[in-house]
Structure 1
């Protein structure tokens, strides 16, 4: 098996390089020369003269995103002087610490000589060969940004084989731009967007060892490092956690369809933003956000969970207007990438109070009593098991906390074939407004208000269509006539469904008892 995989890697490397071996060697030489300029210190590891303080602020946060490694085998790539090696070795059964600079590896060896469960290895990860299915977790902090795209793809394939089935890959990278303030000479680093990382990490495959099956990485979560947000107003330090999973060819094709972003393309999101307003992709944009937030009794210092946060509009409004801290979560990688881009444009007092995370909220967990408010706009229609989700909301709220949700609902009547087909095609799970409120009551919420806002929704839709007409030339110039017609037809269809009584729109407010 190992021989077969080794041969496959060599063939893959030749194919990826595409005859540009000289260019690949130039990349490696540039990186080597770059790091030879620096002494093996924590300041050089973080490229910051504030490194000692930043290290203390971020270290335990970073480690909190790593899966349980107790009694597990860990491969640490780009270990450097061992800033994380000590913490990994103190818990894991065995750690293999790899770095391509001899001086850094030697510093790590001296720094962590008290441990007998660490193997120190000086190696370039682009040439590294390790046994298959050996490790439970692969950990890297600032590594892939020092590899070009082809090198990352090849490494991803290798990591898929080094990991055991259901093993985890954890990476932390600087996205968009540099974060440090120390610079010597030309910086050859690759500062990718989060979406570029998602695409590379999840698109590569490797044989699983079982006929017709292949292994892939599936993203479990991605989140900004809060220490960098608070200390430097920088949300672009991202941690990614992926799980190795095996898929049949049929399953893999379905997974690829998701990766191709058919539902959440960047262009599609930006089209909707042109209707709802800058940074918004929810009904009524800033207008409804302002109205609903007034119902939350928000006060400075409160913590808000924004479920289905989109591209950040509600989070920015709450942080800027009320001084609350907002943690926005969304399943869409493009939504969060745009949210991070928008966050960079916000005033300092907003930037430092907002964080974003990509995750499946139905599979995620927060400590009990983490938030004062759970806020969600037109998102839970995608989720079938609302009762379990609402029970999680209840647990995550502090005593006296409040939940506010707006969502698509269905009318009380027998539905038309068009509406039934529409719901099926979208994969929506719709309840009546009354049923929605009953589910909130079932899980323990009190003072539940289930308000039918369909008439208000229709008025907003008509207003948005009117404004959209006025922006036609500008919109068509940026997108296309076809996109314009698609949006217009969609809005008119919503008005028709709501007016006919098939579709409804509900606003739900409820409290967790003190």
Structure 2
């Protein structure tokens, strides 16, 4: 790695490996910094700081900043540019060997294009170290190139690791750090990184049609004696494992993971009066189908968000085959923060059934929408009746929070929406289920070759169960349109 970087002068072009680095830097810097947690008055560690593209901003806000890079020329260039800040320490060190005294703790660790130059084992060691360097509740921010290179400077030997987002999640979230006690031994306090958000850098989407520049924000959380698991992990490891998503895609259609696939997407989008340049938030965007459709057919700017890391990873893989420019983000929509009045449309398909506090969420939707904006949601609902035991077991197993169609619609009015349409479209839902079942049966042989007979029977019985629950009045499907 040392010989690799010795090929380049300490410049912004070498930092970004791009001939148009100055323009890219101008386009992306404010965006990158906007993804950071609050840093005013905090203690910050900047790893792989290079010539200090971000050092100035960090120094202006931090109570104390430590910047680290392993190339002497780059450290010296950074010192020349930013050494006037008395509260900044400039260290030349290899992050794989970096050590700090046990009592030295940071609020935030920042790195921009660092882990892609480390092996998996080096990242595992660094992850444990970063957990020990951070205060409880502290944040780790990283930005990496995923899947393939993004620069336009031709490389000779290239020792970079272009991982998938899921590979980073696995490396960063599976490691467990232990803090040192006063006598130098490990105490009982252990911690892990929990993903707060991950998203494409929109500047690269707009400038290069490249959604594979990913920012990750992780928070240091306590690790209990029991197995650590979040709701995100529950989704990724159960209902929305990669294999499960790919199985569902076979029945919904390419890039789709919601009822009716492209057919219902075309039909529902007609209700939105979309015009070029509008901004759309696609909540529970899955593997990208609706987002690609809206961007392609209407010329709107779509931000697709989903809590499942597997969904967004597949959405990014799908985008590599699409011409549409969509920004994808892994985030918990119940914890998301967007500026008020930043979207013209909020769109969600069969996702909010996972969320209990819909009133707070819809109040946020109202804030995030511009005046005159619309929200369109389709979602699983429950019938207005005494429910069967098998339906109650199904809802409990999936962790769903289902309302009747009228109750769902009432919440929109309660939080301030006007002209609320709450339609029970269960008959349409059942028609689609029959169509999808017929289509799925016709591709049985090919599906079994790719997956298995067990997988085929599992999907088929799942669709048949939905039809039965609807025919018995337990399950319903609601379509909701509301206006700000």
Contact 2:338–2:368, Cα closer than 8 Å, also in 1: yes
Q: Distance in 1 between matches of 2:229 and 2:465?
A: 32
2:101 matched to which residue of 1? 131
1:249 matched to which residue of 2? 225
Q: 2:6 aligns with which of 36, 47, 62?
A: 36
2:463 aligned with 1:487: no
Unpaired stretches in structure 1, ≥5 consecutive residues: 1-30
2:397 aligned with 1:425: yes
2:36 matched to which residue of 1? 66
Give the secondary-structure state (helix, strand or coil) at the position aligned to 2:18: coil
CA separation of 1:486/1:212 partners in 2, compared to 1, >3 Å: closer, same or farther?
A: farther
Unpaired stretches in structure 2, ≥5 consecutive residues: 182-186
Contact 2:232–2:308, Cα closer than 8 Å, also in 1: no
Q: Distance in 2 between matches of 1:368 and 1:88?
A: 26
Over aligned residue pairs, what C-alpha RMSD do you find?
1.3
Contact 1:105–1:122, Cα closer than 8 Å, also in 2: yes
Q: 1:362 aligns with which of 322, 334, 349?
A: 334
Q: Distance in 1 between matches of 2:262 and 2:195?
A: 31
CA positional deviation for 1:131: 2.6
Give the TM-score taking structure 1 as reference length. 0.91
Listed one character per residue, the Cα deviations across residues 155-174 of structure 1 (whole Å, up to 9, x for unaligned) are 00000000011000000000
Q: Distance in 2 between matches of 1:263 and 1:202?
A: 20
Give the secondary-structure state (helix, strand or coil) at the position aligned to 1:33: helix
Contact 2:235–2:308, Cα closer than 8 Å, also in 1: no
Give the secondary-structure state (helix, strand or coil) at the position aligned to 2:365: helix
CA positional deviation for 1:424: 0.9
1:381 matched to which residue of 2? 353
Contact 1:139–1:171, Cα closer than 8 Å, also in 2: yes
2:291 aligned with 1:320: no
2:184 matched to which residue of 1? none
CA separation of 1:283/1:359 partners in 2, compared to 1, >3 Å: closer, same or farther?
A: same
2:127 matched to which residue of 1? 156
Give the secondary-structure state (helix, strand or coil) at the position aligned to 1:111: helix
CA positional deviation for 1:387: 0.4
1:271 matched to which residue of 2? 247
2:464 aligned with 1:497: no
Give the secondary-structure state (helix, strand or coil) at the position aligned to 1:498: helix
2:156 aligned with 1:180: no
Q: 1:86 aligns with which of 56, 64, 72?
A: 56
2:414 aligned with 1:438: no
CA separation of 1:497/1:184 partners in 2, compared to 1, >3 Å: closer, same or farther?
A: closer
Q: Distance in 1 between matches of 2:479 and 2:347?
A: 11
Contact 1:37–1:184, Cα closer than 8 Å, also in 2: no
CA positional deviation for 1:256: 10
Contact 2:236–2:310, Cα closer than 8 Å, also in 1: no
1:103 matched to which residue of 2? 73
Give the secondary-structure state (helix, strand or coil) at the position aligned to 2:228: helix
Q: Distance in 2 between matches of 1:324 and 1:424?
A: 38
CA separation of 1:124/1:55 partners in 2, compared to 1, >3 Å: closer, same or farther?
A: same
